[in-house]
A and B are shown apart, each in its own frame.
Chain A
Amino acid sequence: MLTLLLSLALCSTTFADQCLESAMYESNSLYSTGGGYEDGIFTAVSSSMIGWGIGLAAAIALVAGLVHQSAGANTHSANDPQ
């Protein structure tokens, strides 16, 4: 907020809109920064639930589009080396 006020005070009225947009953009980007970190935490906790892991062979088939998501999820492959 302080940054926003300072930005506005230093700008002439001609460029006020431009400055306001710039300040809002900076505020928004700082506020939104860290989403990847938060998603990492969320996935780390949620993915630990039992039964969500699939073997590597099945996962390869899945990402390659060789099987449908519903067939690959929660299923261990017969070819799974583990």
Chain B
Amino acid sequence: MTLAFLCLAASHCLFTPPTGWDVVSPDKLSGLTRVAFVGKKSGSLFQPTLNLSIEKVNVSLDEYIASVKKRQEAHPKRIWRDLGVFTTAAGPGRLTCLDMPSKWGELRLMQVILLKEETAYILTAAALKKDAPALLSVFQNAFHSLSLVPDLMSAIPDEKRRNMLKAWQKNPEKVSCHELQQLLLNEFGDLGAYWQLLAAKELTNEKPDSDRNLPSSCPAGR
């Protein structure tokens, strides 16, 4: 229980990905990327994606942007622009735009950077340049939702649902993993897929291995 308390007491960067997007398998994420989502298959070969990277830094936001600019301008085929201040739920960040060639065609990547307490939070959205205008509002909504919360519980707006999870924390052995999975899917959809993933990870950290009786109690993924 102590471990659960400590985990839930740590701060979290949250955002709400578009509804219905798939989660990129964690083993496909590079270095500092924490989570990534991919849009549903469409006629386009390049599916739109959204990911969050977190980097420890000891520079200001302006210095970070300057460093990024220098790196991107070193690529002759990339066009990088600083689009200025962008408001997120966690405060003002910076929006940048990068156009780059790929085997699927010209790509457009939009990135919002938030820097708080020596940590840079980078939310990256990508799509084919020709598809980008149609996805702009989708990306903007995700960018605006970027927030920092002291713990996952505080992101839950109502007492009733907070109590549901507290009940799980108090008696994890009485609720199967499958029930937790269904609880998160059915009752906490409004908090977004990333919150649901973080909650599942943290809450089951306390679960003894012997209780993770997946083949019989939690067939998801099979």
- Which residues in A have some Cβ–Cβ distance to B below 8 Å? 29-30, 33-48, 50, 52-67, 69, 71-75, 77-82
Q: List 13 A-B contacts (CB under 8 A).
A: A30-B59, A36-B54, A37-B111, A39-B31, A39-B33, A41-B126, A42-B33, A44-B125, A50-B41, A56-B193, A59-B22, A79-B181, A82-B22
User: Is A53 within 8 A of B222, CB to CB?
Assistant: no
- Verify B38–A48 contact, CB threshold 8 A: yes
**Docked complex Cα distance between A7 and B144 (Å):** 42
**A45-B107, A63-B26 are known contacts. Are A35 and B219 too (CB-CB below 8 A)?**
no
What are the 5 tightest A-B residue pairs by CB atom distance, in nearest-first order? A53-B22, A36-B55, A40-B124, A59-B23, A44-B126
B71 and A38 within 8 A (CB) = yes
Most B CB atoms within 10 A — which of A43, A62, A75? A43
Report the nearest B residue to A29, measured CB to CB. B58
Q: Are B48 and A37 in contact (CB under 8 A)?
A: no
How many Å from the CB of A42 to the closest CB on chain B? 5
Q: Contacts of A63 on B, CB cut-off 8 Å? A: 26, 197, 200-201
Q: Does B156 contact A (CB under 8 A)?
A: no
Q: Of residues 39 to 84 in B, which have CB atoms within 8 Å of A's CB atoms?
A: 41, 45-55, 57-59, 63-64, 67-68, 71
Point out the residue from A34, A37, A64, A81 that lies within 8 Å of B177, measured CB to CB.
Answer: A64
A40 to chain B, nearest CB (A): 4
Tell whether B152 is near chain A: CB-to-CB under 8 Å: no
Enumerate chain B residues within 8 angstroms of A52, measured Cβ to Cβ.
24-25, 28, 38
Q: Which of A38, A47, A82 has a CB less than 8 Å from the CB of B36?
A: A47
Answer whether residue B196 sits at the interface, using C-beta atoms and an 8 A cutoff. yes
Q: How far is the CA of A29 from the CA of B33 in the complex (A)?
A: 19
Report the separation of the CA atoms of residues A59 and B35 in the bound assembly, to the nearest whole angstrom: 11
Q: How many residues of B contact A (CB 8 A)?
A: 71
Inter-chain contact B71/A53, CB cutoff 8 Å? no
Residues of B within 8 A of A41 (CB): 98, 109, 111, 124, 126
**Interface-centre pick from B24, B26, B182 (highest chain A CB count, 10 A):** B24
In the assembled complex, the CB of B135 is this many whole angstroms from the nearest CB of chain A, namely 13
Are A36 and B107 in contact, with the CB atoms below 8 A?
no
- Residues of A contacting B55 with CB < 8 Å? 33-37
Residues of chain A within 8 A (CB-CB) of B58 are 29
| Contact pick for B218, options A55, A56, A66, A81, CB 8 Å | A66
Q: Please measure, in the bound complex, the distance between the C-alpha atom of A36 and the C-alpha atom of B33, giving whole angstroms.
A: 7
Q: Smallest distance from the beta carbon of A80 to chain B beta carbons, Å?
A: 8
